[in-house]
Amino acid sequence: MSMIGLNDIKNARNRIVGHIISTPLVCSPTLSDICGVAVGLKLEHYQTTGSFKLRGATNAILELTEAERAHGVVAASTGNHGRALSHAVRAVGSRATICMSRLVPENKVSEVRRLGADVRIIGNSQDDAQKEVERLVAENGFVMLPPFDHPAIVAGQGTIGLEIVEAMPDVNTVLVPLSGGGLAAGVAAAVKSMRSHAKVIGLTMERGAAMKASLDAGEPVLVEEFPSLADSLGGGIGLDNKVTFPMCRALLDDVVLLSESEIAAGIRHAYVREREILEGAGAVGIAALIANKISGLRGPVALVLSGRNIDMAVHRRVVNATGNPPA
């Protein structure tokens, strides 16, 4: 098992400082009232590219040699990793090819193109896109930087956990969006190294939750992908997963599944009560709290608002669909 430790994460922070934003952790009076414990929001959607992915992508790019950067990098993405990687390679004079499936929303695809990446739309799943990545690596010698199952990616995302504990030293529960596990594994490694009794809980959608299915099976498994408001949480974890599956199995205390209506309520609450625009994946922590899905909740609670890159037409429909979320 390739476990990322506290030193790896601290080294990543030293590497990426100046390239990313150290985002605020702010109190949410409304969620604190709802839950009866202090709740803090880690505003990771404030990153330059609109999601936490910039941390891991930047760390991975800065770890490459000049020769590797000259070859160019390639990755599969559900959108946010591709956007972050495209931004990061521009800063070092490299280039990126991003492979995405037809399920990736057009607003995310167009932003990756705007940043100068070569975009390939392949198949109906991230697994299909990954096959194209592997072909390009074999044929063109590109350097593969996957969206989660990579030590430098996990270490970069883990810097969020450092910042959470520094801002909330007595944190008892951390809620983290869960897809391929790069964010959850990195945050859990940092938090539990500094505050061993804290619980770290992964949150994902009900349908097509690959990490949850894999954890239940005891090994990485394939899942069918479905459209979801939490589109960033879609995709498989890779049958040869070497980093994030073992880390999530060892470090996560629970995984909570959320329905599409619960995710929508999280997006609405974020907008109406917190004055924040979030994509579905970024709102799953809020969704879990207002739906009372976290059993035995102990405060203080920190939850990661992981991204804001939602199609605004979709956002308007969701916000206007059923009125205000619960107060």
Edge to edge, what strands does the sheet with 73-76 contain? 118-121, 96-100, 73-76, 143-144
Q: Is pLDDT above 60 for 326?
A: no
* 130-148 per-position pLDDT tens digit: 899 999 999 998 999 999 9
* 83-94 per-position pLDDT tens digit: 999 999 988 889
pLDDT of 327 reads 36
pLDDT of 325 reads 44
* 32-44 per-position pLDDT tens digit: 999 999 999 999 9
Question: What's 306's DSSP letter?
Answer: -
> 9 and 162 in contact (C-beta within 8 Å)?
yes
Using the Cα atoms of residue 8, residue 12, residue 13 and residue 14 in order, give the sign of their dihedral. positive
Per the rule left: phi > 0, alpha: psi between -120 and 50, beta: everything else, 147 is alpha
pLDDT category at 322 given cuts 50, 70, 90 is: low
* Percent of the chain residues topping a pLDDT of 90: 85
Q: What mean pLDDT do residues 17-46 have?
A: 97
> 46 and 23 in contact (C-beta within 8 Å)?
yes
In this structure, CATH architecture of domain 6-50+150-321? 3-Layer(aba) Sandwich (3.40)
Q: What's the mean pLDDT when you consider all of the chain?
A: 94
DSSP string, 119-158: EEE-SSSHHHHHHHHHHHHHHH-PEE--SSSSHHHHHHHH
Exposed e or buried b per residue across 180-211, where buried means at least 16 C-beta atoms within 10 angstroms of its C-beta: bbbbbbbbbbbbbbbbeebbbbbbbbebbbbb
CATH, domain 54-144, list 3.40.50.1100, 3.30.479.30, 3.30.930.10, 2.70.70.10: 3.40.50.1100
pLDDT of 137 reads 92
Q: Is pLDDT above 90 for 320?
A: yes
Assign 255 to helix, strand or coil.
strand
Q: Is pLDDT above 80 for 26?
A: yes
For the chain, give every residue range classified as CATH 3.40.50.1100. Answer: 6-50+150-321, 54-144
- d(CA 275, CA 120) in angstroms, rounded, equals 35
pLDDT of 124 reads 87
pLDDT category at 126 given cuts 50, 70, 90 is: confident
For the question of residue 53 being annotated catalytic, the response is yes
Q: What mean pLDDT do residues 107-114 have?
A: 92
- d(CA 34, CA 25) in angstroms, rounded, equals 18
Q: Is pLDDT above 90 for 3?
A: no
Q: Which of 28, 42, 53, 108 is catalytic?
A: 53
Q: What mean pLDDT do residues 285-301 have?
A: 96
Q: Is the peptide bond before 300 cis (omega within 30 degrees of 0)?
A: yes
* 151-178 per-position pLDDT tens digit: 999 999 999 999 999 999 999 999 999 9
Q: What mean pLDDT do residues 102-126 have?
A: 90
pLDDT of 276 reads 98
pLDDT of 78 reads 85
The residues pairing with 17 across neighbouring beta strands, listed in sequence order, are 20
* 202-259 per-position pLDDT tens digit: 999 999 999 999 999 999 999 988 889 999 998 889 999 999 999 999 999 999 999 9
Query: pTM for the complete prediction?
Result: 0.93
- d(CA 252, CA 48) in angstroms, rounded, equals 28
pLDDT of 2 reads 62
